[in-house]
Amino acid sequence: MLEHITVFKASHIHTMDPGRPDASAVAVSDGRIVSVGSIESMEPWLRRYPHSIDDRYSDKIMMPGFIDPHTHLRLSGTYMGLEYVGPIDSAAPGGMRKGLPSRDAVLNQLRALAAEQTDPTTPITAWGYDPASQSGHLDRDMLDQISDSVPIWVIAYAPHIVYVNTPMLEMIGVNDDSVGHGIGRYPDGRLNGWFVETEATALATRPVSKLIYGPNAGRTAIDRMGAVAKAAGVTTTADLIWGLADGFEPEWDDHAKAIAEGTFPLRIFMIPFEPKLVREYGSEMLNFLETKRAEGDDRLNTHGIKYVNDGSYPSMTLVMNEPGYLDEDNAHKGEVPWEDMVERMLPFWKAGVQIHSHANGDRTLDMTLDTLEALQRIHPRFDHRFTVEHYCISSPSQARRLSALGGQASVNIYFVHFRAQLHSDHGFGPDRSEATARLGSLERAGAPFALHSDFNLVVTPLSPLLAAWCAVNRIGADGETVLAPGERISVDRALRAITIDAAYILNRDDRLGSIEVGKHADFTVLADDPYQVNPRNLKDIEVCDTVLAGESTN
Amino acid sequence: MNQPTEMSSGEVDAAWSSVVSTLHAARERSQKNYTASTELDVTVLTGFLGSGKTTVLRHLLENPEDLRIAVVVNDVGAVEVDAHLVKDASVQQISLSNGCVCCVLGDDLENQLEHLVTAGSYDAVVIEASGIADPIAIGQIVQGAHNCRLDGIIAVADASSLDVQLADQRIAALVARQLQAAHLVILSKGDLVPESERERAVKLIADVAPGGRIIQANDGVIDLGLVVGAALNGVSMASHEQGGGLAVVSLVVEPAGPWQPTELGKFFDQSTHGLLRAKGWFEDLEGSLFHLQVVGRRWEIKRWSGEAPKALVLIGLNRDDVATTKVRLQYIGQG
């Protein structure tokens, strides 16, 4: 018995259900999808139940809510207590932040922040100021005119310099008699509010850093980073290092509170970091996960187990096969010894817990596949959804082996654009750099895959549409070269990899990832149709809104 | 502070990650209790791939002038130290008969530095930053490490390819950042290019990193004291002018002071002093002793407990600059 049905109309709905791909209306009740098609087609429902038509998206495109299946919102967000005041557009809490063209524009923004500041003991902290393109340095007197009571702290785009006002100088604990390199002065000897280069910036940053890493940092981070993800159209994500920073219960509680208080517009799965889980819970580890699963719900839950078995792509710490590194080899393996991997994974494998295993390098991928094969020998399983996380450097044969063993991949595709050309000359060499993130090979091998950002543990943005753009175009950092064209995938396949296939990776494709009857009513609302725009412009499509369980998050 | 005005979103991410490391280092530092004891000087050597960092390091290891220097690199094998000097070699570490060591950069630089301090057998550390690392982040780690002192950040720039690097949008921001972070810039391979190209490289560096001090060095041959501050610790306080290709001039101010530390700080804040390095001790008006260290644009003044000669050694590129600075310093003393 349905109480009320809301029908969302759109100029086009891409359902990502290949059997019924297109629609113009979706009916929602109590957070779930009741019907998808047209107003006419859902008439049998509308005739029987009270309903209303919501046409706020009638000139927009609707898709299933985007899923980024590998992020670190809480951990990375603890850094993000800063406003962005840089010269070019950047992702920030509340969406893309427009670049500010001039110093006056920056001062206006700081003035607005100062006016909003209710607690005069909490500094206003901002980053990204660029004195070259924003017409000159800031200084103490300028910032004092904005506020002589609220401390103001601004770190430049290249963090050589911090600008502060008088209240912030007091908080840092320096005065006109202080001596130190990089503590700037006016010609008359008065401090000018500049802190230049390493010692001085560190001195000026200490009080701010203490605040940013204070007791409420985790919660603040979740709220801020949740807003970043929402602005990029994400409605579901997974934290792939649950427990590492502050422990399992505190991290879970922060998310639970944020959801209860309505400040976190996402669904999230907490995926425990295995070494920490083993250390903390020992023989009780599986019981702990079972308890948390029972405690969780459709907004916050736990799922799977996470292993980290080599380093990262940008820091050139992944483990590679022959012929190895061109230069700068800092390869390192993770905390769990490789020779113990089968033994460590086995209890989870036998208990039916989905394994997420980080492998950036192809040597690590070999080890991971060997481990999966051994697990299959010891205890054969179907539909286990063993997931290789990142999958940066690989070969076509590894894709086929992954597929044959029933595995799948969650791929960081952003590196193709942001880093691959750099590493052609540095670290990985031209061949493996060009073939970073082989999605075409995975597709040909029939292995399921999704795209993720790893936000913000590596230097990549969080934007599923940008990820799809990278996957479809594979354009290098030079803006023109197409890298390994045979590893490109179609627009449809890329959009699947940020919706239904990402849900599959998280083993929730029964409830999420497409617009189908019975599923959660999570939608992403776009200004333009990703199937219609030039694929080179996929990343520029504006995200207008997201809908979570039938409610707009705006 | 000269930034390109055209920037990509990738650069914003790189900038953000630098800001993050600054915040993080400040937190690490504020959580530690510092014990007062001798600090180990740590130099960060930065520069893009192929700029000549390794050649500079090899020269240091082979000519340490009685200092025991620990060099931390990405790849020990690449350094190719003179085989006659090698006492013991592995993939991880090469020990030299002159007391120096060359070891691989590990996962945790901070721990590694603290181990070198604890080992107690080194006078200075030089870290070779990865060619694509942000040296500021490494400088911050050094500052956060127990009983380590950031001596300076030194960039090596390749006269034969700097213009190409700064025109390549994939790497330009990184190369610029490395030059801007540096307190001294070593221009390498100047002997391999025509004079005009070398001059263009000097101008490019001045454009990207105004006020930076530029030293030219061929085949990595550079005065140890310019790279490693510890080389000036036991310097005989006597002026000398060096022969050979590098016209480095050092003059001594004696006695140094009395000066107000704030006045001296203001003096070194003006980047017109023309010094590459300066080091020594001076007295303030109350007779307290202070230690001064200068590396290019960077200076540090610390209260000194114990005995020390009241003298400063000033090192610069030409006699006029250094002599002028010497006179101006003495004038501060009288004024």
Q: Which domains does chain B have, with CATH numbers?
A: 9-230 (3.40.50.300), 234-334 (3.30.1220)
Tell me how far apart the alpha carbons of residues A413 and A468 are, in angstroms, rounded to a whole number.
Answer: 8
Residue B266, token pair as written in the block? 């203001």
- Bridging pattern class, strands B124-128 and A551-552: unpaired
Q: How confident is the model at residue A397, as a pLDDT?
A: 98
pLDDT at B300 over 50: yes
Give the orientation angle of helix B135-144 with respect to helix B9-31, to 10 degrees.
10
Tell me how far apart the alpha carbons of residues A369 and A371 are, in angstroms, rounded to a whole number.
Answer: 5
Tell me how far apart the alpha carbons of residues B314 and B215 are, in angstroms, rounded to a whole number.
Answer: 15
State the Cα torsion A317-A320-A324-A325 to the nearest 10°: -30
CB-closest option in B9, B23, B153 to A461: B9
Q: How confident is the model at residue A236, as a pLDDT?
A: 98
CB B64 within 8 A of CB B122: no
pLDDT tens digits for range B48-61: 888 999 999 999 99
Confidence of residue A191 (pLDDT cuts 50, 70, 90): very high
Residue A182, token pair as written in the block? 């990089």
The neighbour count for residue A488, using CB atoms within 10 Å, is 21
CB A307 within 8 A of CB A334: yes
Tell me how far apart the alpha carbons of residues A533 and A541 are, in angstroms, rounded to a whole number.
Answer: 9
* Interchain proximity A201–B265, CB inside 8 Å: no
Q: How confident is the model at residue A266, as a pLDDT?
A: 98
pLDDT tens digits for range A218-256: 888 898 889 889 999 999 999 999 998 788 999 999 999
> Residue range A386-407: average pLDDT?
98
Confidence of residue B121 (pLDDT cuts 50, 70, 90): confident
| Nearest in space to A36 (alpha carbons), one of A546, A520, A531, A498 | A520
C-alpha distances (whole Å) from A244 to each of A186, A239, A247 are 46, 11, 6
Question: What is the CATH code of the structural domain delimited by A226-513?
Answer: 3.20.20.140
Percent of chain A with pLDDT over 70: 97
> Residue range B142-170: average pLDDT?
88
State the Cα torsion A305-A310-A312-A313 to the nearest 10°: -120
| A41 touching chain B per CB within 8 A | no
What distance separates the 2 farthest-apart alpha carbons in chain B? 58
CB-closest option in A82, A88, A185 to B12: A88
CB-closest option in A185, A327, A426 to B269: A185
Q: Which residues of B touch A88 (CB under 8 A)?
A: 7-9, 12
| Portion 153-182 of A in contact with B at CB < 8 A | 155-161, 177-182
B-chain residue closest to A127, CA distance:
B19
Average pLDDT for chain A: 92
Q: Which residues of B touch A87 (CB under 8 A)?
A: 5, 7
Residue A366: half-sphere exposure toward Cβ, Cα within 13 Å: 9
Q: How confident is the model at residue A314, as a pLDDT?
A: 77
Q: How confident is the model at residue A206, as a pLDDT?
A: 86
A-chain residue closest to B303, CA distance:
A179
| Residue of B6, B132, B299 to mutate when probing chain A, most A C-beta within 10 A | B132
Q: Residue A447 corresponds to which amino acid?
A: A
Size of chain A, expressed as the number of residues it contains: 554
Confidence of residue B243 (pLDDT cuts 50, 70, 90): very low
Confidence of residue B333 (pLDDT cuts 50, 70, 90): low
Give the orientation angle of helix A362-378 with respect to helix A396-404, to 10 degrees.
20
CB A407 within 8 A of CB A387: yes
CB A167 within 8 A of CB A150: yes
The neighbour count for residue A2, using CB atoms within 10 Å, is 14
| Nearest in space to A422 (alpha carbons), one of B49, B69, B191 | B49
Confidence of residue A96 (pLDDT cuts 50, 70, 90): low
| A48 touching chain B per CB within 8 A | no
Residue A245, token pair as written in the block? 């920073």
Q: Which parts of A351-445 are beta strand (E)?
A: 355-359, 387-390, 408-412
CATH classification (class only), A79-212: alpha beta
* Interchain proximity B140–A198, CB inside 8 Å: yes
* Interchain proximity B75–A199, CB inside 8 Å: no
Give ipTM to 2 decimals: 0.70
| A30 touching chain B per CB within 8 A | no
Domain residue spans of chain A = 79-212, 226-513
B-chain residue closest to A414, CA distance:
B10
Q: Residue B224's beta-bridge partner residues?
A: none
pLDDT tens digits for range B187-196: 999 999 999 9
* Interchain proximity B13–A460, CB inside 8 Å: yes
Q: How confident is the model at residue A319, as a pLDDT?
A: 93
- Bridging pattern class, strands B101-104 and B69-73: parallel
What are the backbone dihedrals phi and psi of residue A372, each rounded to the nearest 5 degrees, phi first?
Answer: -60, -40
* Interchain proximity A159–B136, CB inside 8 Å: yes
Q: Residue B302's beta-bridge partner residues?
A: B291
Q: How confident is the model at residue A78, as a pLDDT?
A: 67
* Interchain proximity B266–A185, CB inside 8 Å: yes
Q: How confident is the model at residue B244, as a pLDDT?
A: 39
